Amino acid sequence: MSDGYDASAAVLDYPRRDAQDKLTGRTLYTVDRAGPETLKAVLFRSKIAAGRIVRLDVEAACRAPGVRAVVTAADAPGQFGLGIADHTIFASDTIRHHGEPIAAIAADSLQQAKAAMDLIELDVEPLPALLTVEAALAKNAREIHSDWKNYEILLEGAKRGGNVAWEATVERGDTDAAFARDDVTIVEGCYRVGRQSHVPFEPRAVNARYEDGRFNIETSTQVPWTVRSVTARALGVPESHVRVTAPPVGGGFGLKFDCTLEPYAAILAKKARRSVSLINSRREEQLTCLCRENAEIRIRSAVTASGEIVGREATVLMDCGAYGGEQVFLTTMTAHTLGGNYRTGAIKLASRAVYTNTQPNGAFRACNGVYNTFALERHTDEICKAIGMDTIAFRRQNVIGDGDLGATGQVFEGDVLRPMLERMAEKYPYDAPAEPVRDGWLRGRATTVGTWFIFVGPSSATVNLNADGSATLVTSGVEIGSGSMMQALPQIVASELGIEPDAVIVKTADTDASGRDLGVGGGRQTVSLGAASTQACAEIRKKLFSVASELLQTEPSRLILKEGRIERRDGAGGSVGLTEVIARAEATVGPVSGSGAFTAPGVAAMPGCAAGHFIDAIDIPVFAVHDCELDIEVATGRIVIRDYRVIQDVGRAINPRAVYSQVQGGVVQGLGYALHEEITINEEGYFDQDGFETYRIPLAEDVVPVDLEMYEGAPSIGPLGAKGAGEVPILNVGATIACAVANATGKPVSELPLTPPRVLSLLRGRTDALELEHISRNWRDNVIS
């Protein structure tokens, strides 16, 4: 009990209030909300990956039956982006990827809109497409953005050039000296991963209207405020002319952490003077998915015989596709993921977002961390092999602990990974008797560690107390499925105000009503919105206690809120009901409300270490230890997961049952990534996997129950010490599976996913350790000088 309320009351397995309607099909997602009066829109997209538009004529399409509006680049010339404004919503003269929108059409019916697309006349002069990072970085490669020097810079400090959209570097200490030492073993490895598609069941979708001179956008998004600002930039209108609301979202996983369809619907609605619905078909959703990026990595480490990492150099090439998008920001994360986990002497890291003539990539649950953790953990096991050290002992010795320096020189607080690792080893000893391995199968097990963070940043909350003793929480939060808006937030507000969670009404995002917010992602919703809500409730308590102190004839500091009443802390004297105090307040000072705000506290990095980073140090680190035991069928290369175990740093679990659900779901998404999910791009720049038939996501029979132990008590500035729990479960799944397969087969695992053909090729000795010639061993060659 502190400050007049019982914070621990927030912790409970409170059920979801949206379950009933979701289970009975009554929840209306954005895709369900376009009524018969709404026009249906389609996007006319490029069928080639690179080219110049010679002629575009939409006259015939404009006159087609049922067509109400046709828009092109001329209607929305504004450039936007993260870090650099390199993107427009329509291609105007240059086509940079397959599927790039060139025009949009709204018509009375979807069929009419599609029919009108066939009447658009487009002449293009194809250009040779640069479809791989290697091709885009080759000497004398064509510049995909010939005008890159003239783009508006939105964040200063990064090097750019040619097809390198953005470069983030870390330099701490003298790696040359470390690698030159005569007492070190130098270990080197290359790693490669493909793209992962989010496949949210609700595709990106938007309904837009133009009313009273403003755009009214209802959309399936994780980031209402980003949609507001990008739409305004794209359409060249003030941000205040855009209102964004978000109904329940049918899955996001990071895909909806960017503005995509909204500006098209908005401009069509203005031109047609009608409501417009734009929904990606499943094929479009897949073919224009802002995937987890494909990446290529080289790591070199200098390690002493006793297992001290004295030097490390790494280069990470991230394919951002045709536009920088989220990748520009995500270059930041290499420092905190590949540069995480272990105490390291001198370190140099380069993380480059590279333009290619492919579909832009985006953010996906634990973004760049997933493959950097895969590379780092495989590399760590290779180090152990090279110096003859046990992999668990090496990790226990080297994991980041209290007072250790991170890559960018930030000082970490608290020993978290080491006790988690020890707990895993204690629960599941490697020497425990095991079920015998079947004939024709191999068994492998691995334990890995991972470092991730909570993406803090601005959030705001207002809480209005109602006359009936209920409270309305107004934020820009969105319920994307994780349950934060349904569980953690009402639980926190209820405990702060001494009322029941059912008495907390949760209003979801409406940029006309709720304060600015970074959005739902990066494990931030419970932490950032929770912290802002906590502050709003503190203001309310202060006001209530002031009024109640007169009623109870005592000092405000002696009062507490409990079970809908205000009473004296010492139990003496009477008590007064919350509704009575609210009524009294309305009569004397007015209705009671409170507001709160939160932002990143700004943990310090070492000055001069990091360049081109959006975040130099991570405010709330999150750690995970994963362990997997699997069997491999030698004849087929098929992998069967036997056991999957997680110890996750949750800070403090506010709704433990919901945390379990997030971990089970996140690990299974990671299993898909590790075992079979991959987008490949053909020579036309088109995805080979364009739907559910070819892009296989995990099915019920593929999965196992995840054994989770929550690690509580690690430092966190979140409410009650909470950390986000939804993002991190996917972090080291790829790493753990890869290390277990390497252990089972004794082969170098350098690529994901581990499909049966890839595993078979490893088993039959047809795959050598990966070598990436286009990433130099000399780190300096890999960065812009």
Binding site for other proteins (CB under 8 A): 13, 15-16, 18-20, 22-29, 31-32, 198-202, 248-251, 253, 281-282, 480-483, 657-658, 660-661, 664-669, 691-693, 697-701, 703-706
CB-wise, 29 or 569, nearer to other proteins? 29
Length of the chain: 785
Minimum distance from CB of 20 to other proteins (Å)? 6
Angle at 765 between CA 759 and CA 768, to 5 degrees: 90
Minimum distance from CB of 693 to other proteins (Å)? 6
CB-wise, 492 or 559, nearer to other proteins? 492
CB-wise, 430 or 692, nearer to other proteins? 692
Minimum distance from CB of 106 to other proteins (Å)? 17
Minimum distance from CB of 254 to other proteins (Å)? 12
In sign, the C-alpha dihedral spanning 566, 1, 659, 723 is positive
Minimum distance from CB of 487 to other proteins (Å)? 8
CB-wise, 480 or 576, nearer to other proteins? 480
Minimum distance from CB of 485 to other proteins (Å)? 12
CB-wise, 17 or 87, nearer to other proteins? 17
Secondary element (H or E) of residue 672: helix 656-675
CB-wise, 542 or 696, nearer to other proteins? 696
Minimum distance from CB of 742 to other proteins (Å)? 25
CA distances from 301 to 181, 419, 487, 658, 746 (A): 12, 25, 44, 39, 21
In degrees and rounded to multiples of 5, residue 180 shows phi and psi of -85, -10
Minimum distance from CB of 483 to other proteins (Å)? 7
CB-wise, 130 or 663, nearer to other proteins? 663
CB-wise, 284 or 496, nearer to other proteins? 284
Residue in 751, 686, 628, 701 with CA at minimum distance from that of residue 295? 751
* Location of structure tokens 């990790």: 395
Minimum distance from CB of 253 to other proteins (Å)? 8
CB-wise, 189 or 665, nearer to other proteins? 665
- Are residues 478 and 222 in contact, defined by beta-carbon separation less than 8 angstroms? yes
CB-wise, 11 or 697, nearer to other proteins? 697
- Are residues 133 and 93 in contact, defined by beta-carbon separation less than 8 angstroms? no
* Location of structure tokens 């895709």: 31
- Are residues 564 and 502 in contact, defined by beta-carbon separation less than 8 angstroms? no
CA distances from 465 to 11, 536, 586, 591 (A): 22, 11, 10, 7
CB-wise, 551 or 704, nearer to other proteins? 704
- Are residues 16 and 483 in contact, defined by beta-carbon separation less than 8 angstroms? yes
Cα torsion through 43, 47, 48, 51, rounded to 10: -60
Minimum distance from CB of 199 to other proteins (Å)? 6
Minimum distance from CB of 210 to other proteins (Å)? 24
Helices (H), 473-524: 488-497
Secondary element (H or E) of residue 193: strand 184-193
CB-wise, 218 or 616, nearer to other proteins? 218
CA distance 608 to 554: 55
Secondary element (H or E) of residue 391: helix 391-398
Minimum distance from CB of 227 to other proteins (Å)? 19
CA distance 97 to 396: 46
CB-wise, 15 or 756, nearer to other proteins? 15
* Location of structure tokens 């409270």: 471
Tokens for 742, please give them. 């390497």
Minimum distance from CB of 250 to other proteins (Å)? 4
CA distance 79 to 149: 14
Rg, Å, the chain Cα set:
27
Identity of the amino acid at 172: R
683: left (phi over 0), alpha (psi -120 to 50) or beta: alpha
CB-wise, 17 or 652, nearer to other proteins? 17
Kindly report the number of other CB atoms within 10 A of residue 213's CB atom: 8
Work out the burial of residue 71: count CB atoms within 10 Å of its CB; fewer than 13 is exposed, 13-18 middle, 19 or more buried.
buried
CB-wise, 15 or 748, nearer to other proteins? 15
DSSP notation for 519-572: -S-TT-IIIIIHHHHHHHHHHHHHHHHHHHHHHHTS-GGGEEEETTEEEETTS-
Minimum distance from CB of 622 to other proteins (Å)? 19
Minimum distance from CB of 562 to other proteins (Å)? 27
